[in-house]
Amino acid sequence: MIARELVTLLRFRMERAGLNQFLNGLNHARSRAQAAANDIRRSFASMRLQQRNSGAIYNRSLDRLGIRSDAQIYAEIRRAQLAYTAFRRTGMATHAELDRAWARTRERIRELRGELRSSGSSLGKWLGAA
């Protein structure tokens, strides 16, 4: 009887030891996962900072070169379209005024689109001269 109880006790302790090893392994894996998550968070924070700095450098460089970004030019095209639309919707403009406004709007948009097209070729010429 005592032998049977000892075997049962030994078996229980062995199973418990295995469970403890398993739990220790889980804790270790959890610690590694948390460390990896922290590393990823730090990397993303660093990348966001670099991206903000790159954007600031990009904008300063464009300003120094006297070049407007494509986004600025597209925004100006949109403002010209909206200005004409608002003028037309007032209902107070004569037909001749609407014609002149439409012609000037088209001309301005054509100039802006030309600026978009020529900026790539002029930059290439500028880089080739350097």
Q: Which residue range forms the structural domain that includes residue 31?
A: 1-66
Same domain, 80 and 122: yes
Same domain, 39 and 77: no
56 and 88 inside one domain: no
- Tens digits of pLDDT across the chain (130 residues): 677 776 677 677 767 777 677 667 777 888 888 898 999 999 988 888 888 878 788 888 888 888 888 999 999 999 999 999 999 999 999 999 999 999 999 999 999 999 999 865 555 555 565 4
The model carries a pTM of: 0.51
Nearest to 109, CA basis, from 120, 119, 101: 101
**61 and 73 assigned to the same domain:** no
**Can you tell me the distance from the alpha carbon of 124 to that of 95, in angstroms, rounded to the nearest whole number?**
44
Q: Are residues 49 and 80 in the same domain?
A: no
Total domains in the chain come to: 2
Domain-ending residue, one of 32, 66, 100: 66
